[in-house]
Amino acid sequence: MGEWEVRLTGRLERGGDTVSFRFERPPDLDYLPGQYFFLHLRKGDRVLVHHFSFSSSPLDKGYIELTTRMRGSEYKKALGSLPLGAKVRIGDVHGEFTLKGVSGKVAFIAGGIGVTAAYSNIKWALQEGVKVDILLLYANRSLSSAAFLEELQSLSEAHDNLKVVHILSRPEPGWTGETGHVNSELIERVVRDWRDRAFYVSGPPAMVASVREMLLGELGLPEARVKVESFLGY
Ligand SMILES: Cc1cc2nc3c(=O)[nH]c(=O)nc-3n(C[C@H](O)[C@H](O)[C@H](O)COP(=O)(O)OP(=O)(O)OC[C@H]3O[C@@H](n4cnc5c(N)ncnc54)[C@H](O)[C@@H]3O)c2cc1C
């Protein structure tokens, strides 16, 4: 267990209302791709705490990053108003939603902002040259509400072992790709080799619970092949 004081060093627009916040990385802060941490913010004499998955890879030098939807909550207002250089407290790194130690074929199913935990793993695996075949099923309302679009596109163009499939519930006019929600029919059609893959599901709790149930129930995958990260608070 650790706790660190770190400075905000950068802010990046990621599409839709999504923003990444970068902080200096303390030399002794170790984490696995896909893990999460607690971020404490001061608001007057109160401390506000939320947890966030890393959207950075442990191989990224000098910074750690979180990515979030900037809704109008008290917490997000406090986060959004931090000036560059502001000090914040980071505590406790947790989680087992990681590709570290995994090989073979995997499929991430990310709902909206759940892409952060997938992105950390994907970026790390490609940087590290891990022998893993990765399929990302990325569910969003529309392309304009999806984060990391350009980053994912250039990663999949540069690496044969990453394929990204977008699934849109309210697509822009003219969209010819997948539509609707992630269900067993879509998995069987789009992920032909689903029987050979380990599944990593991340996103809002309702989406994660229903996709997990479908993978275990309708498709009959064993529990050991389905990992989930539920973003409580969405
Ligand atoms: C393991 C994990 C990883 C996460 N990773 C990310 C991430 O990468 N990016 C991201 O944007 N968000 C992530 N979240 C969610 C994040 O912690 C916030 O809950 C979310 O961003 C909503 O915050 P808000 O300030 O917009 O809403 P809030 O105003 O804080 O909350 C909206 C509603 O949710 C309830 N709520 C808030 N937090 C929780 C909680 N922990 N448990 C139960 N109910 C809660 C509130 O009571 C309120 O009713 C993660 C959560 C978990 C558990």
Query: 10 Å Cβ neighbour count for 189?
Result: 10
Compute the average pLDDT of residues 207-233.
97
Residue whose pair of structure tokens reads 């990515």 in the numeric block: 67
Ligand 1 atom at shortest distance from the alpha carbon of 51:
17
Compute the average pLDDT of residues 118-143.
97
**Three-class DSSP category at 109:** strand
**Three-class DSSP category at 196:** helix
Look at ligand 1, atom 9, and give the residue with the nearest C-alpha. Answer: 68
pLDDT at 16: 87
To test the pocket of ligand 1, the residue of 52, 77, 79 to mutate (highest count of ligand atoms within 8 Å of its CB) is 52
* Residues near 117 by beta carbon (within 8 Å), at least 6 away in sequence: 34, 36, 53, 54, 95, 97, 110, 200, 202, 229
* Residues near 48 by beta carbon (within 8 Å), at least 6 away in sequence: 40, 41, 42, 74, 75, 78
| Cα of 194 from ligand 1 centre, angstroms | 30
Average pLDDT over all residues of the chain: 96
Query: Tens digit of pLDDT for each residue in 142-156?
Result: 999 999 999 999 999
Q: Is the minimum distance from the CB of 229 to ligand 1 under 6 angstroms?
A: yes
To test the pocket of ligand 1, the residue of 38, 50, 71, 201 to mutate (highest count of ligand atoms within 8 Å of its CB) is 50
Q: Is the minimum distance from the CB of 1 to ligand 1 under 6 angstroms?
A: no
Look at ligand 1, atom 36, and give the residue with the nearest C-alpha. Answer: 233
pLDDT beyond 70 at 121: yes
